[in-house]
Structure 1
């Protein structure tokens, strides 16, 4: 049996792992690699023949895990794509949105090139390729063993993080020797709004685990509701201003809306108008409703006693671009939730353009912002930022909180590994993290007697 880490090796994006059992080749995740030094078009350069892959297993819908699937199909992959039902629905939304992003960049590239052919701006894939990929999806429920071949069994174990997110656990007969290997995808947190806690994995021989927050700890002394109440009270109640929250449309927005629903329905704050300005968030919320049996027990109990956790008085889902622009003319105190989370596109840029110089505006970041993004520049304290072709002074208050981070922190990652049988677990492969994060996690594991490897990209391990 061989394992090759082809993506998210010593970096965060582009998750893609190849597992070979004899002549059978399984690809676990096929994410977009959008590290700063790579072009989108470089995602076409697979280090293997897509047609030679027998099976693709998808842990969850986020683009850094799913975003290169249409390219794989376009270049010859003909097998099935296995995932959970919510992952299939959310992946379709995200992949179609990627097409829109590619087309917008291509249009800007043509304008920049004054009509000349610009290969760097060509879409990586089109809507047709997304639909060709979606035709290959086969969904499997959580904790239901699925026989892939006579020698390979797959089970999806819930890991929180996002609706439908799962660790892929393989039980394999490798030439008469029973072996087990698990790929965590991304691991969530306990007590996260809407989502179930991550389930412990069964004992395995090999573990491929994310390390995004290795060496870092989340805020533990304040709940989501306490943090939001404090910020909203100051910004919208006392100062009568507006709170703008950049949030990823899928997952983060639903958790935020549910938390706001609990706050206002319990009377912790006086009513404040809330706008969710993201058509994708609206569509994603429908997916959460469709798979409501998979939200956590608290959210289900709230639904039974209070009604839809994603609807409440003074909440408006903004659909059209015209309605979005009208939000800027709403002069009462309000909360605006809009995408994209790192401010690199989407309707959030319009809201920033009109409010970045507003002394009575607070911009609250609830997620990670990669270096080089507008969100990162605001968080590091730049006094002037470039938005929509203009340089604007920053007078708004900039805040950040990690209480809504959907990734487990260092302690969560360690506890997930500690649930394994140390005598059975032969090696831990650390992926999906920056060098410092993976090294911090590896150091902690070494202290506790675990064997951990930080793999190089493309290096094959015989296991």
Structure 2
């Protein structure tokens, strides 16, 4: 009888979520995400899986963000043909995000091949195509929150709202192996309480083991009112200094919709009538449609607003959607008076790159960074004070004002992570994943007084769940 959990991705780093659960030979993958960052990190996505994809019986996907879902088409291409269980809203968002990822892969591969051909090197194939996405999407199976589903005689699952983005889930798993019965809780990415649009993360009482994200384990976000005041001040200063453009690199799912909602609610207070607001992201536009169709998943404040303002949808008004490349390029002919929300959120692709090229060197421009920036990404370089960025092979001087707004993060901070964990009774052991080493060490130090046993997972660590709560690690093994 065996019951093991192996950490194969987002172990010692934030992205590339992938955890392999084995119960008496039945194999379940928790998430299957792309590794994000610089060129070195992205190249790792071309490496084969650490296991035989055809041996996996099922996948449970916590949410649609590409660092959790982005290798699913590769998994299917490599032989996986089982069900992919996730929330309905996550399935809808993945249908958008995975197709966009396939298109980006194609473009990046074409650019890389131009250089490789000139050097006489072998040409690359995209890691997956839209046809591979079609195959992956055909395997998705919808689960509702709090719906118990028996996946096998040994594994039962239930999703709970993680409060991170629409459809995001905490995964509860009840496991049986012989006489051993264990409950595993995987946090996925945890959101924050009292944030706009999305409901608060669910609290859970019982677990034998908690596998918890730690992205912001080393910091405490600004309070919500402080964040609103900070945004208001940025817009006011921009008006005073020649009304230059404001660029907001934003994740197309979650952050973009949150910003649209805030601009609608606070437009008058922030004097946004003096700006033209553009959402320049076809993917974010399509994702906004998913939010509108699944508004039953939004929080009580959102529903109260809709009841009192039935003719004004807060995600669809006071914003100009930019569908075509030509319309996006036309925005670069305007040097002031625009607020442009565009992807990608880490500035490593998408239309934001073109807008940075035309605005980053302007001292009257402002760049608002409002989400996690992986090591090696252009967004991280801006946060860390880079004096120039290379865009399309050319250096662009950074003269615009750079603002980091941590209070808009969709990830729980250190205190919020600890608060979520402390709702479990009996202080179950906790394994930290999805974090940079410094963040994880800090969170572990702060959570240890409250937990029976806390550790940080490293890649290829394998835990013998049958020996909980002792946290017995198995020797290195093949998967």
TM-score using structure 2 length: 0.91
RMSD in angstroms over aligned alpha carbons? 1.9
> In structure 2, do the counterparts of structure 1 residues 373 and 41 end up closer, same or farther at CA, with 3 Å as the change threshold?
closer
1:381: Cα distance to partner? 2.5
Q: Partners of 2:32 and 2:242 in 1: how far apart? A: 46
Residue matched to 2:314: 309
Residue matched to 1:452: 454
Residue matched to 1:461: 463
Residue matched to 1:339: 343
Q: Which moved more, 1:116-125 or 1:207-216?
A: 116-125
Q: Partners of 1:225 and 1:85 in 2: how far apart? A: 32
Residue matched to 1:351: 355
Q: Any idea what the Cα deviations from partners look like across 1:418-449, whole Å, max 9, x if unmatched? A: 001125x2x21110111111122222222234
Residue matched to 1:107: 110
Q: 2:96 is paired with a residue of what secondary structure?
A: helix
Asked if residue 396 in structure 1 is aligned to residue 400 in structure 2, the reply is yes
Query: How many pairs were matched up?
Result: 459
1:2-81 equivalence runs, <5 A: 2-34=4-36, 36=38, 37-40=40-43, 42-81=45-84
Q: Partners of 2:451 and 2:463 in 1: how far apart? A: 21
Q: Any idea what the Cα deviations from partners look like across 1:185-235, whole Å, max 9, x if unmatched? A: 100011112111101023111111111111211112634432222211221
Q: Partners of 1:339 and 1:101 in 2: how far apart? A: 12
Q: Partners of 1:303 and 1:452 in 2: how far apart? A: 43
Residue matched to 2:474: none
Q: Partners of 2:37 and 2:395 in 1: how far apart? A: 26
Determine if contact 1:34/1:40 at 8 Å carries over to the other structure: no
Q: Partners of 2:120 and 2:169 in 1: how far apart? A: 42
Q: Partners of 1:403 and 1:337 in 2: how far apart? A: 17
1:68: Cα distance to partner? 0.8
Q: Which moved more, 1:304-313 or 1:218-227?
A: 218-227
Q: Partners of 2:457 and 2:44 in 1: how far apart? A: 25
> In structure 2, do the counterparts of structure 1 residues 394 and 332 end up closer, same or farther at CA, with 3 Å as the change threshold?
closer
Q: 2:175 is paired with a residue of what secondary structure?
A: strand
Asked if residue 172 in structure 1 is aligned to residue 171 in structure 2, the reply is no
Q: 2:406 is paired with a residue of what secondary structure?
A: coil
1:178: Cα distance to partner? 2.4
1:151-190 equivalence runs, <5 A: 151-190=154-193
User: Which of 256, 259, 262 is residue 262 of structure 2 equivalent to?
Assistant: 259
> Structure 2: where are the runs of 5+ without partners?
466-479
1:79-90 equivalence runs, <5 A: 79-90=82-93
> Structure 1: where are the runs of 5+ without partners?
none
1:238-387 equivalence runs, <5 A: 239-264=242-267, 266-271=268-273, 272-306=275-309, 307-313=312-318, 315-330=319-334, 333-387=337-391
User: Which of 212, 218, 222 is residue 221 of structure 2 equivalent to?
Assistant: 218
Determine if contact 1:2/1:19 at 8 Å carries over to the other structure: yes
1:386: Cα distance to partner? 2.2
Determine if contact 1:162/1:195 at 8 Å carries over to the other structure: yes
Q: Any idea what the Cα deviations from partners look like across 1:348-381, whole Å, max 9, x if unmatched? A: 1211111122222111111122233222222332
Q: Partners of 1:380 and 1:65 in 2: how far apart? A: 25
1:10: Cα distance to partner? 1.0
Q: Partners of 1:204 and 1:449 in 2: how far apart? A: 12
